[in-house]
Amino acid sequence: MGFIKELKEEIKVIKERDPALHSDLEVFLYPSFRVMLSYRRAHKHYLKGHYFWARLISQRAARRTGIEIHPGAQIGKGLFIDHGNGVIIGETTIIGDNCTLYQGVTLGGTGKEQGKRHPTLGNNVMVSAGAKVLGSFKIGDNSKIGAGSVVLEEVPPYSTVVGVPGRVIKRKDIECPQTELNQVDLPDPVTEDIMGLKQANAALINHVLELEAAVKELSRKNG
């Protein structure tokens, strides 16, 4: 892809997904826009084995934007990093098309292991603010990672993950449109479990009360 085409693609992504954008010129001020242009250049050097120049470009971009993308990461089309300060994307990370990352997201490893050690994100994945995805596994297509979650194992497609450690809650098999991403209205598995226990407890109490009433009535009749 040529430079002009890359430029147009990055501008289009930001214009489609950021409601705070008031003019096209603002796009050039966005950290996401600037870091992605630098990443594309650095990645080309990385593929050619020019590792020093690749890291030099990526580190300069990290200082300017607060977003650290290793030049070895493989990133598809349409990645949008909203705000982005504190975002870290590791060397062997693979990101599919039309994904969205919010500030403070880490796509990292769990130690000093060799080979593939960072996560793979499928298409149309959203990772909310402060979430950490650590290890070599896949986040399935059209999945959401809730804010502050710590994900340590594979996530199936069309799922939502919340909590520490992250718990998977299967959702409807529908696509996750990037223009309607929602970080807030996510399910709370702990609350759902507590509500289930409350309902079960209430049903048990009612059953005991019914039995007690039946025993009293039987005792009264038997005089």
Dump pLDDT digits (tens) for 25-48: 788 888 888 899 899 999 999 999
72 in the same domain as 15: yes
| Same domain assignment for residues 10 and 63 | yes
Same domain, 83 and 15: yes
* Whether residue 217 sits in one domain with residue 148: no
Res 102: pLDDT: 92
Question: 32 and 122, same structural domain?
Answer: yes
In this prediction, residue 10 carries a pLDDT of: 76
Same domain? 195 vs 130: no
Residues 214 and 168 in one domain: no
Residues 96 and 177 placed together within one structural domain of the fold: yes
- Same structural domain for residues 181 and 204? no
Phi, psi of 50 (to 5 degrees): -90, 70
Range of the domain at 16: 3-187
Task: Please count the structural domains in the chain.
Answer: 2
**Measured between alpha carbons, how far is 171 from 154 in angstroms, rounded to an integer?**
15
What is the average pLDDT across 179-186? 54
Question: Is 96's pLDDT higher than 90?
Answer: yes
Same domain (yes/no): 201, 162:
no
